[in-house]
Amino acid sequence: MLICKAASILTDKDSQSAGVSLPAGSTENAQNLVQRKNAALKRLRELQAANPATRLNPDQISWAPPGETIVVNQTQWADFETSLGMVNNQRGPVWYLLEAVTRFKALSISLEATALLIQDALVNRDEPNALPIWDNYIGRFGDLIEPLDNHLFDPDDIASGTNMARQFVQDIGIGVSLDKQETIVGALQKTQLTPGLMNRGGTLDPGNIQQPNLLSTKVTLRRLFDYNADPQGGDNILLNSGPFLQAWELTYKAATALAEFEAEARDMADAFRLQYLPLDANEDEIWHPITEPYPVGRFRRQSIGYDGYWFSKYEGRTRPAGGDEELGERWGESVTNKNLNLAVSNMIASYLDQMDGLIKGLLPMLMNLFADIALKAHAMAAKSSWRSKNWPLLNMPGLDTSLDLLERYPEWSEGRYETG
């Protein structure tokens, strides 16, 4: 991958998410943390820019089919919105889709920042190969989430005309030919210009509001189905399933790839955690990573509602560790103080818990919500003009999204939909 994220994004307001409350600490630690992270990111980007062939270019992504078009009337669309709870401030699947996206963006930044802190702590302890090992895992994680959340995408730089890619290549002074530098610039620019689904302007862009509202859910639903009302004020609405299928497919592919990544990264990180866990540590001081699986079938959203489902199953285990200053106050001193090995061990446990929350919590929640929206959309399509038998069900080899399954409100677990 070309980047993990630009150094500037580490102070972005998106990273200042609501996480667990943290003990007060040194402001100097927080400031030093930002400096260390910026230096680590610059080093990582130098390595990645020098070898652009290691990443997946946007052109190589296997997009979902272009989708099929149906025609519905205003009443049918209004009934579709109502079936998704988009009335009277209810919190239905589209509301929680945006909530999960916002949590995903915050947690992905927190995960990456925590990994950089761990890397710095291990390097400061002269741990052999800590630098390349964590560079590899940080870069691969960024690769896998890029179609959903591209940390390099910066519409403000694009709008202002700043050629960040060319300036970056010139700044790091790569000792290669001008032709290769131009290749690197082109690859960086393509990444900078390509938003992930969750970035500004993407299909799942949650906007800058604190939490979803009726307007944001309506806008998102129209984006997902390429809503086109009759410009002459008629009753017909053209809908296309393409954006919805693209979002569902890319989430499915990210969930599948990240599950494989998580198994490998967990073994690597847990080995470091146990290595730095003092033998004389008190049990109540040790942060044990969560290992319990998310239960399938215990909480049924069709019975307890989406509020109950989210808070019973996912909310508590998907919280980010915090923003830059919070992370600095919690872990900053442990990075440089070699006597604080327990804190380093606990920091790695926090990384494992955050990875668990994003990969085994938020991505499955998103997959569940796509299934529920597809079920309601299919019911609307059955009453429409230009009917399509399987609209808008995702057709992927080995993936069961049959109507019979969706009607039982399945849950995503271990790479497939299950009903418990």
The rounded mean pLDDT for the chain is: 80
In this predicted structure, what is the pLDDT of residue 340?
A: 92
At residue 178, the pLDDT reads 61
**DSSP helix/strand/coil, 17:** coil
- pLDDT of res. 195: 79
- Give pairs for 247-250: CB < 8 Å, separation 24+: 247/197, 247/203, 247/204, 247/370, 248/64, 248/367, 248/370, 248/374, 248/394, 249/62, 249/63, 249/64, 249/394, 249/396, 250/61, 250/63, 250/64, 250/147, 250/148, 250/197
Q: At a CB cut-off of 8 Å and minimum separation 6, what does 264 contact? A: none
Give the CA radius of gyration of the chain: 23
Q: Going by DSSP bridges, is the β-strand pair 416-418/411-413 parallel, antiparallel, or unpaired?
A: antiparallel
Say how many Å lie between the first and final Cα of the chain, rounded.
Answer: 37
Rounded to the nearest 10 degrees, the angle between the axes of helix 363-381 and helix 74-83 is: 150
SS3 of 48, please?
helix
Q: Which two tokens stand for residue 106?
A: 């915050």
CB-based contacts of 271, cutoff 8 Å, min separation 6: none
> Whole-model pTM?
0.80
Determine phi and psi for 335, rounding to 5 degrees: -70, -40
The tokens of 67 are what? 């989708």
- Listed residue (192, 201, 149, 136) closest to 167, CA to CA: 192
**Contacting residues for 65 by C-beta, under 8 A, at least 6 apart:** 242, 245, 395
Question: What is the spatial distance between Cα 316 and Cα 314, in angstroms, rounded to a whole number?
Answer: 6
Supply the pLDDT for residue 374: 97
Amino acid at 3: I
Which residues in the chain land under pLDDT 70? 1-66, 154-193, 324
Domain ranges of the chain: 64-150+197-418
Task: Encode 70-95: b = buried (16+ Cβ within 10 Å), e = exposed.
Answer: bbbbeebbebbbebbbbeeeebbbbb
| pLDDT of the residue at 57 | 39
**No. of helices (H) and no. of strands (E), the chain:** 14, 5
CA distances from 32 to 7, 135, 262, 335 (A): 14, 20, 29, 10
The pLDDT of residue 88 is 82
Residue with tokens 């399933």, as numbered in its chain:
241
